Amino acid sequence: MAETKTKQTEQSVGVFLEKVTDESLRKDCYTIISLMEMAAGEPAKMWGTAIIGFGTHHYKYDSGREGDICLIGFSPRKANISLYLANFAGRDAVLAKLGKYKTGKGCLYINKISDVDITIFESLIRQAADSHRNAN
């Protein structure tokens, strides 16, 4: 069985964010870190080379594959900020109030914090963290 590629590392979150050249994006990253640390109750850690994650969630698929991944997390990308947030009951209703975003396979994408309602964004993060935490 293939080994999980995305694992928690000892890489510094601060050093990683120093490489983010867009100052506005870097500022948004620190805002997201603050919100996610409060929601997860865990400090920011690097997962792989480009994901900032919080807490740990153990998953197991019907196929038997299992592993550990961050409870919630995000990655600043050139095109947008990729957010890794669990699905939960009522998520669509929360997203309807969020503001400007896109979704993809397992990810939520925002361009910048100012595109979303920060109160709804904070609620979304908290509910996603709680959903994973309660699944364990």
Return the domain boundaries, the chain: 13-135
How far apart CA 6 and CA 17 sit, in angstroms, is: 18
Residue 30 CB contacts under 8 Å (≥ 6 apart), including other chains: 17
Average pLDDT over residues 65-85: 91
pLDDT band with cut points at 50, 70 and 90 for residue 60: confident
Q: For residue 67, name the pLDDT band (cuts at 50, 70, 90).
A: confident
Task: Give Cα 107 distance to the centre of its chain.
Answer: 8
57 pLDDT tier (thresholds 50, 70, 90): confident
Q: Minimal CA–CA distance to 56: which of 115, 126, 129?
A: 129
| 91: enclosing H helix or E strand | helix 91-98
Euclidean distance between CA atoms 48 and 51, whole angstroms = 6
Predicted pLDDT at 66? 78
More confident residue, 46 or 86: 46
Neighbours of 111 (CB within 10 A): 15
Greater model confidence, 5 or 104: 104
Q: Which residue is listed with tokens 């997203």?
A: 95
Structural element, H or E, at residue 84: strand 81-84
Which amino acid, one-letter code, is at 104?
G
Which residue did the predictor score with more confidence, 125 or 7? 125
Please, which residues have CB within 8 angstroms of residue 136's CB and are 6 or more apart in sequence? 57, 58
Q: Tokens standing for 17?
A: 């964010």
From 86, 82, 60, select the one nearest 71 (Cα to Cα): 86
- Tell me the average pLDDT across 89-106: 93
What is the pLDDT confidence band of residue 4, given thresholds at 50, 70 and 90? low
Among the listed ranges 26-35, 88-97, 115-124, 127-136, which one has the minimum average pLDDT value?
127-136
- Average pLDDT of span 78-92: 92
Considering the domain 13-135, what is its CATH architecture? Alpha-Beta Complex (3.90)
